[in-house]
């Protein structure tokens, strides 16, 4: 349908109308689009959009400046302009359920969680589909916009939850191909975050590489101490003991169910 609208935020912000990408020029206009889309049909006040587009100093034109960006967004929407509504002191963008990639990723994660025990392979398929929605860091072109960059925290958390469940479910179902790469990518994205390191240690151990798993833990401890002056948590200690003692290894993991 020509009026179908999609907004993608799992990467640089992208607008698609009728399945075709539509350029949205200007950081401020893309920021306004992103905030309206992430509101999921809720009204966004003009004052909030002013803070989004001009976080440091509002222009003298104030509300007319926001109205100008919204008007131009309607032009970008073309035949779907009716989806961007003007309310009393606010605007609302109405999208279909899966028209925001982040919403689709969350739905796939919920479905995978609900069905993981009964249908591991189906859950793996859903999680792979969800993870494939990322085209790079979320909101990658708006990292200098404070109000928008803050949303990346939740989107990064979503990506981590999908990755963690995907690795565990894939290993449990015997689909080991690519699991180590997924865990390694999580560590590469945030080298000082312990959860990603633990996931990689688990994955290496369960796929029969105990020595590499223990070396990964040691390397992380050294990196954490040298770069942040911190020590790893007791959870990593416990994980290392499980790997070294053989209680975590091929066919022996808490989420394999066998």
- pLDDT tens, position by position, 173-187: 888 899 999 999 999
Same domain assignment for residues 130 and 203:
no
Which residue blocks in the chain are alpha helix, DSSP H? 27-38, 46-53, 63-77, 101-115, 120-131, 146-149, 151-173, 179-189, 194-206, 210-228, 234-245
- Whether 26 has a pLDDT exceeding 50, the answer reads yes
Q: Which two tokens stand for residue 249?
A: 């290894």
Q: What pLDDT, on a 0 to 100 scale, did the predictor assign at position 257?
A: 55
Same domain assignment for residues 97 and 36:
yes
CATH of the domain at 140: 1.10.10.10
- Whether 258 has a pLDDT exceeding 70, the answer reads no
Task: Please state, rounded to an integer, the average pLDDT across all residues of the chain.
Answer: 93
Q: Is residue 171 part of a domain?
A: no
Confidence of residue 254 (pLDDT cuts 50, 70, 90): confident
Q: Is 7 helix (H, G, I), strand (E, B) or coil?
A: strand
Minimum mean pLDDT range among 16-30, 57-71, 154-168, 218-232: 57-71
Same domain assignment for residues 12 and 131:
yes
Question: What is the number of other CB atoms lying within 10 angstroms of the CB of residue 122?
Answer: 15
Helix/strand/coil (H/E/C) assignment for every residue in 34-97: HHHHHCCCCCEEHHHHHHHHCCCCCCCCCHHHHHHHHHHHHHHHHHHHHHEEEECCEEEECCCC
Q: What pLDDT, on a 0 to 100 scale, did the predictor assign at position 179?
A: 94
- Whether 78 has a pLDDT exceeding 90, the answer reads yes
- Whether 1 has a pLDDT exceeding 60, the answer reads no
Using an 8 Å Cβ cutoff, are 176 and 170 in contact?
Answer: yes
Q: Is residue 156 part of a domain?
A: yes
Same domain assignment for residues 25 and 69:
yes
Range of the domain at 79: 1-161
Q: What pLDDT, on a 0 to 100 scale, did the predictor assign at position 117?
A: 78
- Whether 251 has a pLDDT exceeding 90, the answer reads no
Q: Which two tokens stand for residue 113?
A: 């969680």
Supply the pTM of this predicted model: 0.92
Same domain assignment for residues 130 and 200:
no
Q: Is 19 helix (H, G, I), strand (E, B) or coil?
A: coil
Q: Give every CB contact of residue 211 below 8 A, 6+ residues apart in sequence.
A: none
Q: What pLDDT, on a 0 to 100 scale, did the predictor assign at position 149?
A: 83
Domain boundary among 130, 161, 192: 161
Domain boundary among 161, 196, 230: 161
Domain boundary among 129, 161, 193: 161
Same domain assignment for residues 180 and 105:
no
Q: Is residue 170 part of a domain?
A: no
pLDDT in tens, 3-14: 799 999 999 999
Same domain assignment for residues 132 and 209:
no
pLDDT in tens, 132-171: 999 999 999 999 999 888 899 999 999 999 999 999 999 9
Overall number of domains in the chain: 2
Using an 8 Å Cβ cutoff, are 201 and 166 in contact?
Answer: no
Same domain assignment for residues 180 and 154:
no
Nearest-10 Cα torsion for 204, 207, 209, 213: 20
Confidence of residue 17 (pLDDT cuts 50, 70, 90): very high
Confidence of residue 2 (pLDDT cuts 50, 70, 90): very low
Please report, rounded to a whole number, the percentage of residues in the chain having pLDDT higher than 90: 85
Same domain assignment for residues 201 and 89:
no
Same domain assignment for residues 101 and 186:
no
pLDDT in tens, 171-224: 988 888 999 999 999 999 999 999 999 999 999 999 999 999 999 999 999 999
Q: What pLDDT, on a 0 to 100 scale, did the predictor assign at position 176?
A: 87
Q: What pLDDT, on a 0 to 100 scale, did the predictor assign at position 115?
A: 81
Q: Is residue 38 part of a domain?
A: yes
Q: What pLDDT, on a 0 to 100 scale, did the predictor assign at position 253?
A: 78
């Amino acid at each position: 349908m020509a009026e179908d609208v999609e907004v993608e935020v799992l990467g640089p912000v992208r607008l698609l109308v009728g399945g075709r990408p539509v350029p949205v020029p200007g950081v401020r206009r893309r920021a306004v689009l992103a905030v309206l889309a992430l509101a999921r049909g809720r009204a966004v006040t003009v004052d909030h959009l002013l803070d989004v587009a001009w976080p440091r100093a509002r222009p003298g034109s104030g509300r007319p400046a926001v109205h100008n960006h919204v008007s131009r967004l309607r032009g970008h929407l073309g035949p779907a302009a009716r989806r961007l509504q003007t309310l009393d002191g606010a605007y609302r963008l109405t999208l279909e359920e899966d028209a925001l990639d982040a919403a689709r990723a969350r739905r796939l994660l919920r479905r995978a969680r609900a069905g993981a025990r009964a249908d591991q392979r189906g859950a793996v398929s859903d999680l792979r589909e969800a993870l494939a929605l990322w085209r790079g860091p979320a909101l990658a072109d708006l990292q200098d916009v404070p109000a928008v960059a803050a949303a990346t925290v939740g989107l990064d958390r979503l990506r981590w939850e999908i990755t963690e469940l995907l690795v565990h479910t894939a290993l449990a179902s015997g689909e080991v191909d690519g699991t180590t790469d997924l865990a390694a990518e999580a560590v590469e994205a945030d080298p000082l975050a312990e959860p990603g390191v633990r996931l990689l240690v688990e994955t290496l151990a369960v796929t029969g590489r105990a020595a590499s798993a223990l070396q990964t833990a040691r390397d992380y401890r050294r990196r954490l101490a040298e770069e942040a002056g911190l020590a790893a948590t007791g959870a990593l200690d416990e994980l290392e003991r499980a790997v070294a003692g053989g209680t975590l290894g091929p066919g022996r993991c808490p989420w394999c169910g066998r």
